[in-house]
Structure 1
Amino acid sequence: MLAECKEHGYYRGKACPICNKEGKFLMSDKELKKLSSVLIGILRHFPQQFGVRLDEHGWGDIEEICRAIRDKIDRFYWLRRKHVEALALTDEKGRYQIKDGKIRATYAHTIEVDLSDLPMADVDVLYYPVTEEEVDIILEQGILPTDRNKVHLSGSIEKAMEAGKIRTENPIILKIDAKKAMEEGIDIRKAGKDVYVADEIDAKYISKLE
């Protein structure tokens, strides 16, 4: 469940992970899962379906989003700003940013957004999972966006494997020389706790992880 501790803020679970006290209930796991799906859909894919306006950087007003969800989905008649903030601030993947009463998703968009205000990547190496059939093509042609607007890279081999197993049982991990790429003008941004985005990655920065 999602709850709020008076001393330590929002958390997920039965008790505050810091003081182990039971906080104020905000929503059940079922409600949290459904709201997460709706919110990420609005911020990444279909704001127009809810009548929500996002600016060029993907920011939307939290109060407006709450009203839109309440109007569209009866079960969320109770939804208020604090519920959205609690969901975003406790998201394990770091998929959201909140600032000045607004919220946005930081990666995996299919709508056009300008993410150039995200922080620059601060790592030397990144990783990208592929299938066996894709390896030679990518090593020759580089990485381009597929079903999303940006190329999404992982900060660790473990996370790349996790992402790759969504598509194939035995993903092959490619290594990206992020340091050299950025030194030569490739824009790579940190978009989540372990997610980095770029417009594309040239083949000369890519090698097969041995």
Structure 2
Amino acid sequence: MLGRSLDPAGWVDVEALIQAAQAHGRRFTRDMLEEVVATSPKRRFEFSADGRRIRATYGHSIPVELGLEPVAPPARLFHGTVRPRLNAILRTGLLPQQRTHVHLSDDVATARRVGARHGRDVVVLAVDAARMAADGWRFYHPAPTIWLTERVPPDYLQLVDDDEQT
């Protein structure tokens, strides 16, 4: 991140971030940063209470202590992927890959949009989140449509049928 290091909770000083971006030839201002935070539909970033620091609220590829508390999920959550990955996922489950958590959506449409980032032949998997939670798995809800969990074993997955996918 432009030579800036994060503290253990994932925060970086806003002014230091802006200076580092400008030192790398990127036009970047506080106003631009505030616009990104305010308009991000997924609420991907947040400022500290004093406004001096910023961090990603989820999607980390390094261990970060966000201070999220586990919450009870809805009965079903969803994950979009592309068909070529389906057999591997049904065999191994959903793994965080280069992130610290698996990202799930609370509706089929959002899962489909997320899956479409990886290709055109999108399929959606339903996650039996209620059963996972009853079995002791933890879920976190850092943003309105985003749910996180450590991983999803294959026993909790089911392919959403075509009627439900549209």
Normalised by the length of structure 2, the TM-score is: 0.81
Aligned pairs for 1:113-152 within 5 A: 113-117=64-68, 120=71, 122-152=73-103
Contact 1:121 1:190 in 2 (8 A): no
Per the TM alignment, residue 135 of structure 1 is displaced from its structure 2 partner at its CA by 2.5
Aligned pairs for 1:159-178 within 5 A: 159-178=110-129
Could you tell me which amino acid in structure 1 is paired with residue 157 of structure 2? I
Distance 2:11 2:111 in 1: 28
> Which one has a bigger Cα radius of gyration?
1
Name the SS for the 1:191 alignment partner: strand
| Aligned pair partner of 1:95 in 35, 40, 44 | 44
Question: Taking every aligned residue pair, what percent have the same amino acid on both sides?
Answer: 28
Contact 2:81 2:112 in 1 (8 A): no
Partner of 1:63: 15
Structure 1 range deviating more: 149-158 or 102-111: 102-111
Higher relative contact order, chain-length normalized (CA < 8 Å, sep 6+): 2
Task: Note the residue ranges of structure 1 that are not aligned, 5 or more in a row.
Answer: 1-46
Task: Note the residue ranges of structure 2 that are not aligned, 5 or more in a row.
Answer: 162-166
Contact 1:119 1:189 in 2 (8 A): yes
Contact 1:127 1:160 in 2 (8 A): yes
Distance 1:52 1:193 in 2: 29
Per the TM alignment, residue 75 of structure 1 is displaced from its structure 2 partner at its CA by 3.2
Partner of 1:39: none
Normalised by the length of structure 1, the TM-score is: 0.66
Name the SS for the 2:97 alignment partner: coil
Distance 1:74 1:143 in 2: 36
Aligned pairs for 1:10-159 within 5 A: 47=1, 50-73=2-25, 75-76=27-28, 79-80=29-30, 82-100=31-49, 101=51, 102-117=53-68, 120=71, 122-159=73-110
Name the SS for the 2:117 alignment partner: coil
CA RMSD of aligned residues (A): 2.2
> What whole-Å deviation, never above 9, does each CA across 1:70-117 have from its counterpart, x for those lacking one?
3332534xx23x442232122122111222222111222223323452
Cα distance change of structure 1 residues 209 and 116 upon mapping to structure 2, 3 Å threshold: farther
Partner of 1:179: 130
Distance 2:21 2:84 in 1: 42
